[in-house]
Structure 1
Amino acid sequence: MDAGAEIHGENPYVAPAELRDPVRRLRGRLTAPVTLWTAGSGAGRAGLTVASVLVVAGEPGVVVGMLDPDSDLADAIEEHGRFAVTPLGWEQRLLADRFGLLAPAPGGLFAQESWTDTDWGPVPAGAGTWLGCRVTGTAGAGWSRRVDGEIEHLELGDDEPALAYRRGRYHRIDPT
């Protein structure tokens, strides 16, 4: 390294802020819950970490999520017409990274934890809060696939520290 070089925390390959997509920059400033979406069973199980999610209260409740259209999960949801959503807690950061394809998953995505099979898809064993949904519609939305679901089953566990995502980092949201 030459004497004039310095180490810094900025990524030299990232475009300057004024050249980045403003909608993506706005999205990065919105705090999002980190959830795990799963579908299928046995060898056909698929899952993906999803932070672009909206839950609408009502009768029945509705869930909307933005998925990678090329993901195994998008295919499994289309095939089965059902999916499970588990809000992740602060202690599940590694699980979020594995299903977000940011951390290694030796043996496959479902090999590291214990799982409970449900009619909607697998959920992490011991998950206190999760919901089972029936697909009511899908559509292209920008570079994502929007999946709409009606909540058919809901389990509410203890209110524990939640995992949130903002500006490229995880944040802990403590219950009040």
Structure 2
Amino acid sequence: MTIHSEHPFDTPDEERDPVRRLRGRIGGTVSLWTAGRGVERAGLTVSSYLVATGDPGRVVGLLHPDSDLLEQLEETGTAVVSLLGLSDQRLADAFAGVMPAPGGPFRLGAWEQTEWGPRPSSSATWAGVRLDASTRHDVGWSVLVEAVLEHVVIGPEDDALVHRRGRYQRPHA
């Protein structure tokens, strides 16, 4: 039996796409974007986003073009952007589609329906946003969307869920 220090089937670094490698090294906090009501709810784990201050403040995100979330966001025009913590890894993986969630990811945990969409009850920091439809652009393999921050709730500061180089990491102070 051989013990490998790395995954034996991983593509060697020198053969990987350098742009994806650069993006992976930047890393970022993990958010969950959700939209819709009832059976029409959709969500997506998003770590490629930024918040711009101003009057009004805005959030810009890169979303998967075939995601149910993008479709629901464009249909309803609103969404909830929740910041995830270290204890939310399972939720993040389920909404990213990398972990099974029997019955769907909305069965994981409790949810509160807001006027912008569903929000995980465990999420203390979140925002209700309204899509600025004129700002939708195809960017690389993603769709860039911009939304106005209409409602912001800031909860206690806790350990943010950080994703970097394909894995979750503890944030550094």
The TM-score by the shorter chain falls in which range?
A: over 0.9
SS class of match (2:72): helix
Compute the displacement of 1:68 (Å). 0.8
**Match of residue 154, structure 2, among 153, 156, 174:** 156
Report the Cα distance in structure 2 between the residues aligned to 1:168 and 1:108, rounded to whole angstroms.
23
Any stretches of 5+ residues in structure 1 without a counterpart? none
SS at match of 1:25: helix
Please identify, of 19-28 and 151-160, the stretch whose mean Cα deviation from structure 2 is larger.
Answer: 19-28
Structure with greater helix percent: 2
Indicate the SS of the match to 2:146.
strand
| Secondary structure at the counterpart of residue 133 of structure 1 | strand
Whole-Å separation in 1 of the counterparts to 2:131 and 2:29? 20
Q: Deviation digits for residues 29-57 of structure 1, max 9, x if unmatched? A: 11211000000011100001111111111
Matching of residue 6 in structure 1 with residue 2 in structure 2: yes
Aligned to 1:128: 124
Report the alpha carbon displacement of residue 10 of structure 1 after superposing the two structures with TM: 2.9
Judge which range, 15-24 or 124-133, deviates more.
15-24
Of 32, 36, 39, 1:36 maps to 32
Matches within 5 A, 1:9-158: 9-136=5-132, 137-158=135-156
2:166 is aligned to: 168
SS of match in other structure, 1:110:
helix
* Range moving further from structure 2, 129-138 or 6-15: 6-15
SS in 1 for 2:137: strand
| Pairs aligned (count) | 171
| Matched AA of 2:126 | W
TM-score w.r.t. the length of structure 2 is 0.93
CA distance in 1, matches of 2:68, 2:24: 25
Inter-partner Cα distance in structure 2 for 1:92 and 1:98: 10
- 1:92-129 Cα shifts (integer Å, max 9, x gaps): 11111111111111111111211000111100114211
Stretches of structure 2 lacking an aligned partner (at least 5 in a row): none
Structure 1 residue runs of 4 or more that deviate by more than 2 Å after TM superposition: 9-16
Identity percentage over the alignment? 50
Distance 1:68 1:13 in 2: 26
Of structures 1 and 2, the larger Rg is shown by: 1
Once the two structures are TM-superposed, the CA of residue 7 in structure 1 deviates from its matched residue by 3.6
| Superposition RMSD in Å | 1.5
